[in-house]
Amino acid sequence: MRRFQKLSIPVFPMTDRKKITPLSKLGEFGLIGHLTKDFKIHQASTVKGVGDDAAVVEYKGKKMLITTDLLVEGIHFNLVYTPLKHLGYKSVIVNLSDVYAMNGHPRQVLVSLALSAKFSVEAVEQLYEGIRMACEKYKVDLVGGDTTTSLTGLTISVVAMGEVEKGKLVYRNTARVNDLICVSGDLGAAYMGLQLLERERKVFNESGEGIQPDLTGYDYILGRQLKPEARKDIVESLHDHQIVPGAMIDLSDGLSSDLIHICRQSALGCRIFQDRIPMADETGRAAREMNIEPFIAALNGGEDYELLFTIPLNQHDEVRKIKDISVIGHITEKGAGMKFVTVQGDEIELQAQGWDSFGDEQSASGI
Task: Name the fold adopted by 45-164.
Answer: 60s Ribosomal Protein L30; Chain: A; (3.30.1330)
Q: Are strands 307-311 and 248-250 parallel, antiparallel or unpaired?
A: antiparallel
Residue 318 binned pLDDT confidence (cut-offs 50, 70, 90): very high
Asked whether residue 223 carries a pLDDT value surpassing 90, the answer given is yes
pLDDT of residue 17: 55
Sequential DSSP letters for 287-343: HHHTT--HHHHHHH------EEEEE-GGGHHHHTTSTTEEEEEEEE-GGG-EEEE-T
The percentage of the chain sitting over the pLDDT mark of 90, rounded to a whole number, equals 67
DSSP secondary structure letter of residue 169: -
pLDDT of residue 287: 96
Q: How far apart are CA 185 and CA 305, in angstroms?
A: 9
335 burial type by CB count under 10 A (0-12 exposed, 13-18 middle, 19+ buried): exposed
- Distance from chain centroid for Cα 190: 12
What residues have CB less than 8 Å from 362, skipping those under 6 apart?
A: 75, 355, 356
Residue 1 binned pLDDT confidence (cut-offs 50, 70, 90): very low
| Domain boundaries, given as residue ranges, for the chain | 45-164, 180-349
User: Model pTM?
Assistant: 0.84
Please say whether the beta carbons of 101 and 70 come within 8 A: no
pLDDT of residue 42: 53
Distances (CA, A) of 61 to 51, 161, 244: 23, 16, 20
What residues have CB less than 8 Å from 288, skipping those under 6 apart?
A: 294
pLDDT, tens only, 248-291: 999 999 999 999 999 999 999 999 999 999 999 999 999 999 99
Q: What are phi and psi of 349, to 5 degrees?
A: -65, 130
pLDDT, tens only, 157-186: 999 999 998 899 999 999 999 999 999 999
Asked whether residue 128 carries a pLDDT value surpassing 70, the answer given is yes
Amino acid at 309: F
Please say whether the beta carbons of 109 and 143 come within 8 A: yes
CA dihedral (322, 326, 328, 333) in degrees, to 10, reads: -20
Q: How far apart are CA 81 and CA 212, in angstroms?
A: 12
Task: Name the fold adopted by 180-349.
Answer: Phosphoribosyl-aminoimidazole Synthetase; Chain A, domain 2 (3.90.650)
pLDDT of residue 23: 58
Distances (CA, A) of 43 to 34, 58, 63, 169: 22, 10, 14, 20
357 half-sphere exposure, CB direction, 13 A CA radius = 12
How many other CB atoms are found less than 10 A from the CB of residue 35? 11
How many other CB atoms are found less than 10 A from the CB of residue 333? 11
Amino acid at 267: A
- Distance from chain centroid for Cα 89: 15
| Residue from 65, 32, 30 nearest 46 by CA | 65
Q: How far apart are CA 44 and CA 51, in angstroms?
A: 18
pLDDT, tens only, 68-106: 999 999 999 999 999 999 999 999 999 999 999 999 999
- Distance from chain centroid for Cα 71: 11
Q: How far apart are CA 127 and CA 351, in angstroms?
A: 36
Question: Taking CA 357 as the corner, what is the angle to CA 356 and CA 362, rounded to the nearest 5 degrees?
Answer: 80
